[in-house]
Every structure is written in structure tokens, then in C-alpha cells.
Amino acid sequence: MAKILRFNTSTKELKYEDVPEKYAVLGGRALTSRIVCDEVPATCDPLGPFNKLVIAPGLLSGTSAPSSGRISVGGKSPLTGGIKEANAGGITSQKLASLGIKAIVLEGKPAGGDWCGIKITAAGAEVFDANDLAGKGTYEVTAICRERYGSKVGVITIGPAGEMLLPAAGVTNNDPEGNSSRYAGRGGLGAVMGSKKVKAIVVDSPGTFDAPVKDQEKFKAAAKKFAKILQDHPVTGQGLPSYGTNVLMNIINEAGTLPTRNFRYGRFDKASEVSGEKLAEVAVARGGKATHACHPGCVMRCSNIYPMPDGKVCAPVEYETAWAFGPNLEISDLDVVARLNYICNDVGLDTIETGCTLGVLMEAGAIPFGDGKAAIAALEEVYRGTPLGRLIGSGSVIAGRAYGVTRVPAVKGQGIPAYDPRSCKGNGVTYATTPMGADHTAGYAVTANILSVGGKVDPLQPAGQADLSRNLQIATAAVDSTGLCLFVAFPVLDNPEGLPAIIEMINAQYGLSLTADDVMALGRDILKGEREFNRRAGFTSADDRLPEFFAAEELPPHNTRFDIKDEELDSVFNF
């Protein structure tokens, strides 16, 4: 029977609890957000004793459902001050689900300075002394834990940034090869884990696909059908398996929505030098991999393994990261991008937030645009905990205040990712209105705006964008609860058999009879709860707005502005 594992970091009490009936058919984001809404005071200090860190595998994780190894990490965000769910690949979601763990909840706050870890096996869970791991980067911590506990373990950990409670710190876990780079990066949840003085959680499961399934035959048939749907779609069956997520670089650049030089332009004339095609060419030439699966059972294989000149490996360089450290900073050297990526992975920072922050520093003149060496040197200051390093780890909004920069691309305190909202207006609506702070994954309107997936909505015109974002936010909240990779949305939007196949898998696993309406109702309920938490935390409609320069400045080459009216933004959640 599934259990919730609670660790009171104040008393060091570690205990298993039965799953309450109201949580029985929740997973991933649905469960992390529900527990946070139920148990965390909305006005609490995110780094204080009343916040909680919740880690939950998805509903389908631990089964043979294709690409179902995503894990959700939730809590009150130190970066936004609102509710947060951050989502990652890697191997720990499947292992936790295979051990029957519905969620891990870290609560309380220890009085002393000692660090601890948690080891979870089929025999139970125990706390161990982790003082020897403190101060170490995530790659070293993961390597040590795999040496001590076995090469197949999953390791959830934070880097020095999380230990320093920096608001841009993330929570990472490893891929099958042991690379500590699968990040629940956004929103500063690594700082929440650091505030609990938990350095690592080691998950040792003898199986990967051992989560119980009530109707095996129906499940296998639905999983086989869904795998074929993924493989037959041009995005999930061809584009992503060929060049990974960075296949988007040239596409988004051609569309004129690639934010360049801290969101001044929509195209970068050297985008091809940091594109997925170029990355694949270099990675393979150096003995790496153009594509790679971040967890067992993934059929899309959108990750990659990029060997760097110093012999270290960055796995992966994702599109949003390549943008953040490439066009955003006017850097066109893939090795510089990979190095900045690697430092973030090791020190434990969200790459998107860090790229936005470095863009603000360049806007201020503290670092020249295009100067990769200076960017690397500045980011390495985080390891040392210098004032500059701590500033970089505190995010783009705080950096803007420190340097007197008003051109800060952020919503609710969180940096805007790799699609300019003036020429991809559906994403702009998502950035403005999602409870999560600016987050492209919360309602990925690039589908209909740019890729013509699930229909077509003109990215340059305001018409239809609020409806597009609303529908995608509802669907995404539901998908984030299943453990399925967000990229399954591409074939689901285009193939009428996609969503029914997902529902068939859930029904077969849990013995349910859910309908499509039930799944959409789940998505709406998640968003309602998250919005209510933020309302109690003090958020108003004024927080559902983009920075004013997006409305005031035209974006070349289309020379468009963000012109979605406030009343349309305020209507997104009128359901």
C-alpha cells in the first residue's frame, strides 16, 4: 500500500503514514500543490519552519507507461513568495513509486548547523549524517552516494547555492549514468531543502517499473498504443529524438521570437552556432550523444551528453539553457554555454533564472554582453559565496534592484524563459497569469503560436491568446500530475487518441473509470488551489502582468508589442 514519508527536521522523526483518501488518486503536481495548500500557511517565511518541501512521483511513474518518469517538487517559493511546483526527469520518480512512496514531506526547521540525509530502501527509511557532504557540488555528492550505496541509486540533492539559501537554487537528481543534472530548478526550492538542512535523499529501489497495476492487460495495451502515438508524431518521433529540445533554437529564431540581448531583439544572427544541430555535431564528434534518455522507458530521448574541452561532461544542454546563456547574453560559443550550464548544475542553480540574472548584470554594464569568460568568472563566484555570487544566486529581480536596472524580464519575481511574449503572445499570457511565476512549461502556447500543433493561433495578434493559454494551463496541470513528460502534449494535441490512451492507462492502473472531463476538472482544481494559495499570500491581479517594457517597446523583426488587455489577462481563470 502506498505511503507518505514524513521527516520532521526539527525532531529528526522519520515516519511513514497511510495516504489519506483525498490524496489517493493524486500524484505529481496535483499532490504537491494540494499538500502545500492544506498544510503550509500562505503568509509563512519560505525559509522558515512552517514551509514544507514536498516531493512526489506522478500517477503513472513506476510503470511501463512511456516517458512517465517525471517528478514534482513543491513548496512555497523563496523566489516568488507564492506556491511552486518544479518538475524534473531523472530516475528517482520511478524508484520512489516502485517503493510505494506517494510523497516525501520535509517539515520543520532544525536549530543546529548539522546536515543530514535520508536513505530509502524497500526495508524502510533512515536518517544519516551528511556533514561530510556539505559544501560539495551536486556531481561530487551524487558520485559519493553512488559509491557508498550502489551505482543504481537515485540521489536527490542540492548544491552550495541551496545550502546558502539562495532564492534561485534548485533540487536535482541523477540520470541513469549518474549525471546530477535533472533539475526541478525553478522557484528556489533548493533553498527550501537547504533550510531543512537536508543535503541528500538516496533512493535505492530494486525495481524501476514495480508500481502496482490493477489491470495489467489493459494497461499494457494502452501503454503500447500511447508509445506508438508518441513515435508517430513528427515532434516526439522525429525532431526531439534527432536533436533534443535544442532543435527549437533555429525554429524560434526564424520565428523572430528568440529573446536576444536581454529581450531587445527577436533574432540572433549567430543562433545556429548554439543550435541543436550544432550541438549534435560537436557532441558526437567528441564521443558524446546527440540524444539521450533521462530515465528508463523514455521513447523521445530529448536529452543529450555534451563533452566539454576540459574532459567534463554536461548532460544535457537544453534549449532554454542554451538560450539563457547564448542569445540572451549574445554569446555564440557552445563550450561557454555548456560551461555555464555545468557550473549551475554543480553549484545548484536554475539555469533560466541565472541566465536572466546575468542578462541584468550585462544590462547594468557589470559584464559586457558577449563576454563568455567574464560570465563564467562571475558565475564561479557563487561557489565562494562572495557578495557577487550571492547576488547572482538571488535572481534577476534582486539583481535589478541592486544595480538600478528596470529592464528585468520577470513575473512574480521569476525570470521569463526563451520565448519573447511580444511575438509569441500566447506564452506571454501564460507568463503573466500562471500561479508559478514566469514559466513556459505552465501553458506552452508555442504549440499553436509557432509550431502549428493543436491548431494555429497567430503569435503576433492578441486574438485567441487568452483562451489558448487557459486551455493549455488546465491541460498542463493535469499532465504534470501523471509523471508524463510535458512533451507528450504535442501528439496529444494533434491526435484524438492521445488523451484517451493516457486515461486508459490511469484507469487500468488504479481501477478507475475516469473520463476526459474528469481529467480537465483535475487540471482546473489544481489551478484553483494554487491561485487561492497565492491570494492568501497577498497576490492580486496586479501580479498577473508583464514588465512594462514589453508593452512600451517594439520587438524587431516584427516590431510588435505585448498588447493583450488587462481585462483579458484577468479573464484567464474565469472557469
Instruction: List the 303-307 sheet strands across, edge first.
Output: 289-292, 303-307, 313-314
Confidence class of residue 72 from pLDDT cuts 50, 70 and 90? very high
One domain, residues 194 and 263:
no
Tell me the three-class secondary structure of 342-364, residue by residue: HHHHHHCECHHHHHHHHHHHHHH
pLDDT in tens, 173-215: 999 999 999 999 999 999 999 999 999 999 999 999 999 999 9
Residue 228 lies in a domain: no
Confidence class of residue 76 from pLDDT cuts 50, 70 and 90? very high
The residue range of the domain holding 132 is 3-203
One domain, residues 193 and 314:
no
Looking up residue 121, the CATH number of its domain turns out to be 3.60.9.10
Residue 191 lies in a domain: yes
Domain count, the chain: 2
Residue 396 lies in a domain: yes
Instruction: Report pLDDT for 362.
Output: 98
Q: What is the pTM of this model?
A: 0.97
Residue 478 lies in a domain: no
Residue 293 lies in a domain: yes
User: Rounded to an integer, what distance in angstroms lies between the CA atom of residue 174 and that of residue 269?
Assistant: 35
Instruction: Report pLDDT for 234.
Output: 93
Instruction: Report pLDDT for 343.
Output: 98
- pLDDT reading at 115 higher than 90: yes
CA 52 to chain centre: 18
pLDDT in tens, 227-273: 999 999 999 999 999 999 999 999 999 999 999 999 999 999 999 99
Looking up residue 387, the CATH number of its domain turns out to be 1.10.569.10
Q: How far is CA 485 from CA 60, 100, 298, in A?
A: 11, 21, 9
pLDDT in tens, 424-445: 999 999 999 999 999 999 999 9
Instruction: Report pLDDT for 530.
Output: 98
- pLDDT reading at 575 higher than 90: no
One domain, residues 290 and 402:
yes
Boundary residue ending a domain (363, 391, 420): 420
Rg (CA), the chain: 21
- pLDDT reading at 149 higher than 90: yes
Residue 82 lies in a domain: yes
Instruction: Report pLDDT for 482.
Output: 97
Residue 399 lies in a domain: yes
Q: What is the DSSP letter of 331?
A: -
pLDDT in tens, 27-39: 999 999 999 999 9
